[in-house]
Amino acid sequence: MKILCVIPSRIASTRLPRKPLLEIQGKPMIQWVYENASRCKILDKVIVATDNDEIAAIIKKCGGHVEMTDPDLPTGSHRTAFVAEKYPADVIINLQGDEPFIRPRMLEQLVAPYLAGEKPEMTTLAYPLDMKKKYHEPGAVKVITDLQQNAIYFSRAPIPYVRNQVEAPVYHHMGLYAFRSDFLNIYKSLTPTPLGEAEMLEQLRVIEHGYKIRVCLTEDKTLEINTPEEFAEAQHFQYVTE
């Protein structure tokens, strides 16, 4: 089985300007993502997809692979699909460029169903939600699943509403996806949907169009960098290499 990992990275960010180029503990964020993904031994190739020369220069300097993409491509998924056309694979991972502390075994967990011989349309990764700190936080995307671990819904709102004091599993979703190669082409052509537009969560259009997303679980937690506060926290984050 051939597995391609694409890291879409663009310079525009409203909450944290020039985010991929910001240095975390002395190294640009995008370099962290690329190097950590590259340590995952099950991946056949890791490629950064960008429309920015500065990002490309950083990756080339550390010996990485870059594909320049059209700045008019609307989403990271479209950039991922563009690269996948040039580098055919059975499974394509879309790893966001704001996950500097991704661990190789998390990528292995993401594609575990495919390695086991299953063929889900796509998978994503999540870990148990910190109910005290993150349940009411819009920046923490929650996901709830059915009994087969397929996503029922993703939301920035606190879901589910706990009317009875029972343990209903809710997970903290990571912006990390793997696609069966044929489904990636379907995914990029899905039209926007009401819930996806309302929540500003691209993955909801998959569910609204009637497809499924398998939610793979991990106990590991990373620090996704979206805000100045998270960037400051990253300067002291202790990354575990294994």
CA angle 90, 108, 129 (to 5 degrees): 120
pTM of this structure: 0.93
Q: What is the pLDDT of residues 192-207, one digit of tens each?
A: 999 999 999 999 999 9
Q: What percent of the chain has pLDDT over 90?
A: 80
Alpha carbon distance 162, 37 (integer Å): 37
Q: What is the pLDDT of residues 158-217, one digit of tens each?
A: 999 988 888 889 999 998 999 999 999 999 999 999 999 999 999 999 999 999 999 999
pLDDT at 34 over 80: yes
pLDDT at 14 over 80: no
Task: Identify the structural domains of the chain with CATH numbers, from first to last.
Answer: 3-234 (3.90.550.10)
CA dihedral 116, 122, 128, 130 (to 10 degrees): 160
The chain-wide mean pLDDT, for the chain, equals: 93
Long-range interactions of 62-69: CB distance < 8 A, separation 24+: 62/31, 62/34, 62/35, 64/34, 64/35, 64/38, 69/8
Question: Quick check: helix, strand or coil at residue 215?
Answer: strand
Mean pLDDT of 137-151: 95
* Per-residue pLDDT, 95: 97
Q: What is the pLDDT of residues 92-117, one digit of tens each?
A: 999 999 899 999 999 999 999 999 99
Q: Are 219 and 127 in contact (CB under 8 A)?
A: yes
pLDDT at 242 over 70: no
Instruction: Choose among 40, 45, 41: nearest CA to 86.
Output: 45
Task: Please name the amino acid found at residue 180.
Answer: R
Mean pLDDT of 9-26: 85
